[in-house]
Structures are given as structure tokens and as C-alpha cells.
Structure 1
Amino acid sequence: MTAPRRLSPDDPSLRDVLDLIQRSFAFMEGRIDPPSSMHRLTLAALQDQCRDGEIWGIGTPPAACIFLTPRPDCLYLGKLAVDETHRGTGLARTLVELAATRAAALGLPVLRLQTRVELTKNHAAFARMGFRKTGETAHPGFDRPTSVTMEKPVPGTPARV
């Protein structure tokens, strides 16, 4: 497998990234409520993410990808996806380590992500990578938590108060 590569808005691999996310998130159908935001993803939305944040992929076509979005207090990780045939090979961990490197370069002290309440295997996988639960949120219109927020400190960056 190749090293992670940052994708640009005109990268032809963006179509493959969209397909990868749709395949990788398909198992959530009927398991999470509300449905995944991946249903609203388009090629244009991926191009916007490349301009407003970052998309990184591993492989050609990408076997794994992650979205990184700088926020004032953290680097937000989104749409981490690994093709089923490559799960368990360390690609997700490689992308999370890349995210920590990018956060440090940006002076951001924390990696943050959200995962759905129902996806307990995802919670456990992120915990194994050093994330801890820091909160829960509810999607608009829901009176119960629908997402778990998890964070991981970025070594070598100053903690913010």
C-alpha cells in the first residue's frame, strides 16, 4: 500500500473516494437514525472539502480515506473509510496518525470525531487508537443522543484552556 496522499479538488480519485465511502458506510443503513450524511455527499461536496479542509487517501484507487477539517480548537476527522478487503491492515491507524501530524503542523491540540451511538464497534476501534469519549450530541429533531464525540490529544501541541 502506498503512503497517504492529499487529494486536490480536481483529482480524478475523488469519484473513487465517493464510491469507497458509499460502500464502507452501507452497513449503517437501517442501523442508525437519522440516516448517514453520506447520502448527501456528492462530487461537488468532496471538491468543497478539498478546498475548505483536506481529503487524504491511501492507494490507487483509494482503499482508505479521511476528511480533515481545521476548527479553532481541534482538527475534526470525518468520513474515515477503509475498503472491506483492507480492514484490519492498519490503514485507519495510518490515517489517524497522519491527522495527528497535520494537527500538530497546524498548532491544533486535539483530534475530534463523532461516531453514531449505535456503532459500538467503531467506539471500541477509536478507543484502541487513543480516543476517549468526551460527550454526546443529538441531531436536530431528536430528543436522545445520536452521536458520541471522541477526542485524542495531539502530542507536542500546547493544551488550550
Structure 2
Amino acid sequence: MTESAPAREVLKRVAFIAALVLALGFYFLLLGRIAIELLTSGEVAAVAIGVGVLILPLLGLWIVVATLRAALAHQHLARRMHAEGRELDTADLPRRPSGRVERDAADALFAQVKTEWEADPDNWRSSYRLARAYDLAGDRSRAREVMRRAVALERLDR
């Protein structure tokens, strides 16, 4: 049995993310070791630098965990939307040579989805669709904000 192209693409992405997380883990361990050496040196300046160096891997670990948790939550919503047949259909939208949806088409889709969301703003499905529409329209910060809302609403719905 041959593996489908989308499954291979997902496997490539997961492998890439796993490699990045492993590289970051190694880097964080090295920074932690350097921080411990600085902290145990007994010199005031070295201890102060050691505290700063120790904060870096802790901050990095928090960022990696938060990012992976968000990605898994977004993927969970995407799977549910796909299973329900409610994912945004962008297949017929005109695209630029880069593959991005043409601005006018993205704006028209956004207006349609925003109207759906305004009718039911407390539904995680409409929030998810709005976040996707924001992303297609190029407003990534609002897309992330609305996607966080969709994740929270979906958790309440479970």
C-alpha cells in the first residue's frame, strides 16, 4: 500500500518539527550547563550572568511548549471542522503566483465569514472559520487572537 501525498507531507512536517525541538532541547541543555557553571563560580559578575543565561533556556522551553500546544489545539479544530465538512473552501479562489489567495477574493470571503460569525459569535466553529478568513486576508495577529477564542470555546463545548 502506498502512502498518500498529503500523509507524506504531514510526516515531513512532523519530522522537521521534531528535529527542531531536539536541536532546541540540546541548545537549552548546553545553556543550562553554562548557567550552572557560572552560578557555582562564586564570582558576583559570573553569578549575575549565570542567572541571565539560566532564564534563556527556561523561556525558550516555555515558548516551545506553548507553541506546540497551540499547534495541536489548532490541528484538533481543523480535523473536527474537516470531519463536519465546515472547513473554508478556498479551492476555487483565484491565487497569486506565490500561491496566496488574491486580495479581493480573500476580502470577499472574509466579509461572508464575518457575517456568519456575527450571527453566532459564541460558536467555536464560526470563530474558527473567522480566524481562517483573517489569515487568508493577511491579518495574522487577529487570526491568532480569534483562533485562541475558537480553541477556548471548543474546550467549553466538549
TM-score, length of structure 1 as denominator length:
0.28
Structure number with higher helix proportion: 2
Structure number with higher strand proportion: 1
Greater length-normalized contact order (CA 8 Å, ≥ 6 residues apart): 1
TM-score, length of structure 2 as denominator length:
0.28
